[in-house]
């Protein structure tokens, strides 16, 4: 953050400010930015909600949320002076006229220079309506910048995404729309670019001549909890693969950009995503596996199956697990499979990238019936952020027997103390007008094209659910997906 502009004057308006996301992520992140002096007194935050509560009551709720999620609350009372509540009906035009007057008054009081950031922490069905009213009411008619931040899901397929995008573009330009993907705000995800392009030892090896396969895993121990209604309409394919997983694939597969400007980086990501081989109907079952968790035991606790969760259909076909083999048709990656895997109620909570290098063609240090351990580059994104390199070295003083050794770097508490959450990084980027770690429309279009082909095939076929026990690493078919190519999933490697 030290390389960015600090203390940018801005009016931040959060729609859905009484919701869970705002209280768990947004307000603690904004406070920490203020506490770290990345925001100053020229900032005002309007919380939008339908509830009839007073400004003081809202401030009390926000204060409690911040105290729950941030250890050091120094300067909290000073920060609360910048928080305001505005009762608002997003479907009522008169509400926006009132919001305009309130916004203009805060702009003058805090000297915000007309800069406005609108954060839609609401259900996607309101995105288009709100953006239309923001323009028609005059809220976007300002001398400063105007930016719109929206949460996923952005559409439910390519067609609905195109319709929503056309609606948003009536009020905001593409460069003013920030489609947030919190995975891209994680420090170790952002570190993928640095590892690749700031180290001469990796980039020459980052191709099909030296890499045998790349694996990306994002697993959760938790089930759907209270999100059964939402999850029934998305499932793991749309909730995780279409955005988070394919974004990490793009970062790993992209070519070196000509600069670190957001336009240049995103142009390379788009090229990588467009190079993904779209699967025909008869190829989906060979390259993708879907699963749904059954009852099982996690820790010492028995957990119920997905179909017994609240607001989930008794005969639900919604996948809670997806694994797949991706092929990138370009010169760099021809013949190198990218394996992705994501699921709920799995054995561990992990977000990890494993780059497996090819074996040495003729190795002098093992017998013909004994293989050396693979050389691996492991990027641990969560929970133990860090990087490790797995090599083979001489085992004893006498003889030439080898053993695997590991070179590791783990992010310390000191490294992580300057940020409370990925949302903090992304909010600061947005204030700076840096869209590098946000999803561009062209990226979104490519990911929906890829995912829609899979979903269309699955809609026509009946799954055999449930097909994996809670507390395991998914269905057996996921392991067979790799074993057919002579590989296996690297489990919980550090």
Please say if the pLDDT value at position 351 is more than 70: yes
How far apart (Å, rounded) are the C-alpha atoms in residues 153 and 151? 6
Q: Is residue 239 a known part of a binding site? A: yes
Considering the candidates 32, 86, 244, 390, report the single residue annotated as catalytic.
244
How does residue 414 score in pLDDT terms, banded at 50, 70 and 90?
Answer: very low
Question: Concatenated DSSP letters for 355-413?
Answer: EEEPPPSS-TTS-TT-PPPPPEEEEEEESS-EEEEEEEEE--SSS--EEEEEEEEE--H
Question: Residue 217 CB: number of other CB atoms within 10 A?
Answer: 26
Q: Where are the domains of the chain?
A: 10-151, 184-484
**Is residue 152 a known part of a binding site?**
yes
Query: For residue 52, what are its two tokens?
Result: 């009839």
Residues 6 or more apart whose CB falls under 8 angstroms from that of 235 comprise: 318, 319, 320, 322
Task: Give the predicted TM-score (pTM) of the model.
Answer: 0.91
How far apart CA 116 and CA 145 sit, in angstroms, is 6
Quick one: CA dihedral 185, 187, 188, 192, positive or negative?
A: positive
Task: Kindly tell me if the per-residue pLDDT of 121 is higher than 90.
Answer: yes
Query: Is the predicted pLDDT of residue 127 greater than 70, yes or no?
Result: yes
Is residue 90 marked as binding?
A: yes
Question: Could you read off the pLDDT of 325-343 as tens digits, one per residue?
Answer: 999 999 999 999 999 999 9
Q: Where are the alpha helices (DSSP H) in 137-217?
A: 158-168, 187-197
6 is annotated as contributing to ligand binding: no
The mean pLDDT of 89-99, rounded to a whole number, is 93
- Among 46-50, 259-263, 454-458, the least confident range: 259-263
Q: Which of 225-229, 266-270, 302-306 has the lowest mean pLDDT?
A: 225-229
Q: Could you tell me the pLDDT band of residue 397, with boundaries at 50, 70 and 90? A: low
Fold of 184-484: Dihydrodipicolinate Reductase; domain 2 (3.30.360)
Task: Give the pLDDT confidence score for residue 368 in this predicted structure.
Answer: 53
Per-residue model confidence (pLDDT) at position 412: 59
pLDDT of 165-193, one tens digit each?
A: 999 999 999 999 999 988 888 888 888 98
**Res. 9 pLDDT band, cuts 50 70 90:** very high
Within 10 angstroms of residue 43's Cβ, the number of other Cβ atoms is 23
Rounded CA-CA distance 18/42 in Å is: 23
Residue 473 has pLDDT above 90, yes or no: yes
Residue 2 is predicted with a pLDDT of 41
pLDDT higher than 60, residue 239: yes
357, 361, 365, 370 alpha-carbon torsion, rounded to 10°: 80
89 is in an annotated binding site: yes
186 is in an annotated binding site: yes
CATH 3.30.70.60 given to domain 10-151 = no
DSSP state, 239?
I
Contact yes or no for 147/118 (Cβ under 8 A): yes
Q: Which of 157-166, 175-184, 366-375 has the lowest mean pLDDT?
A: 366-375
82 is catalytic: no
3-state SS class at 453: helix
Q: Is 220 annotated as a binding residue?
A: yes
| Model pLDDT for residues 283-327, shown as the tens digit of each residue | 999 999 999 999 999 988 999 999 999 999 999 999 999 999 999
Residue 182, annotated ligand binder? Answer: yes
Q: What is the percent of the chain with per-residue pLDDT over 70, rounded to a whole number?
A: 93
Pairing of strands 293-294, 468-469: parallel
């Amino acid at each position: 953050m030290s390389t960015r502009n600090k203390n940018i004057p801005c009016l931040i308006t959060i729609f859905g400010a009484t919701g869970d996301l705002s209280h768990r992520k947004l307000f603690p992140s904004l406070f920490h930015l203020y506490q770290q002096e990345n925001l100053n007194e020229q900032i005002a935050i309007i919380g939008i909600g339908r509830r009839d509560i007073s400004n003081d009551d809202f401030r009390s709720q926000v204060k409690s949320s911040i105290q729950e999620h941030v250890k050091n609350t120094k300067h909290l009372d000073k920060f609360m002076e910048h928080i305001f509540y505005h009762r608002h009906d997003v479907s009522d035009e008169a509400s926006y006229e009132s919001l305009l007057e309130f916004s203009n008054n805060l702009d003058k009081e805090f000297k915000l220079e007309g800069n406005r950031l609108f954060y839609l922490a609401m259900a996607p069905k309101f995105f288009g309506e709100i953006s239309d009213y923001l323009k028609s009411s005059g809220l976007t008619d300002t001398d400063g910048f105007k930016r719109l931040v929206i949460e996923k899901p952005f559409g439910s397929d390519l067609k609905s995404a195109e319709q929503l995008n056309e609606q948003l573009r009536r009020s905001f330009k593409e460069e003013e729309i920030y489609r947030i993907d919190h995975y891209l705000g994680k420090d170790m995800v952002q570190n993928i670019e640095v590892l690749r392009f700031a180290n001469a030892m990796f980039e020459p090896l980052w191709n099909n001549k030296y890499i045998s396969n790349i694996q990306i895993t994002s697993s959760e121990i938790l089930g759907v909890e209270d999100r059964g209604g939402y999850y029934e309409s998305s499932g793991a394919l749309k909730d995780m693969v279409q955005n988070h997983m394919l974004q990490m694939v793009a970062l790993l597969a992209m070519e070196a950009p000509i600069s670190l400007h957001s336009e240049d980086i995103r142009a390379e990501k788009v090229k990588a995503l467009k190079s993904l081989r779209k699967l025909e109907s008869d190829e989906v079952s060979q390259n993708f596996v879907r699963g749904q968790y059954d009852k099982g035991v996690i820790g010492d606790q028995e957990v119920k199956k997905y179909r017994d969760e609240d607001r989930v259909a008794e005969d639900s076909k919604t996948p809670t697990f997806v694994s797949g083999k991706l092929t990138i048709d370009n010169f760099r990656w021809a013949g190198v499979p990218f394996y992705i895997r994501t699921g709920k109620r799995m054995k561990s909570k992990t977000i990890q990238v494993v780059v497996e290098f090819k074996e040495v063609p003729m190795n002098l240090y093992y017998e013909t019936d004994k293989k050396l351990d693979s050389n691996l580059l492991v990027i641990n994104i969560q929970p133990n952020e860090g990087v490790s390199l797995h090599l083979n070295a001489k085992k004893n003083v006498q003889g030439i027997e080898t053993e695997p050794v590991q070179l590791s770097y783990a992010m310390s508490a000191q490294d992580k103390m300057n940020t409370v959450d990925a949302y903090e990084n992304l909010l600061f980027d947005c204030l700076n007008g840096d869209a590098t770690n946000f999803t561009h429309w062209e990226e979104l279009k490519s990911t929906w094209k890829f995912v829609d082909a899979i979903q269309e095939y699955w809609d026509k076929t009946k799954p055999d659910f449930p097909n994996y026990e809670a507390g395991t690493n998914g269905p057996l078919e996921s392991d067979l997906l790799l074993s057919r190519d002579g590989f296996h999933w690297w489990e919980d490697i550090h």
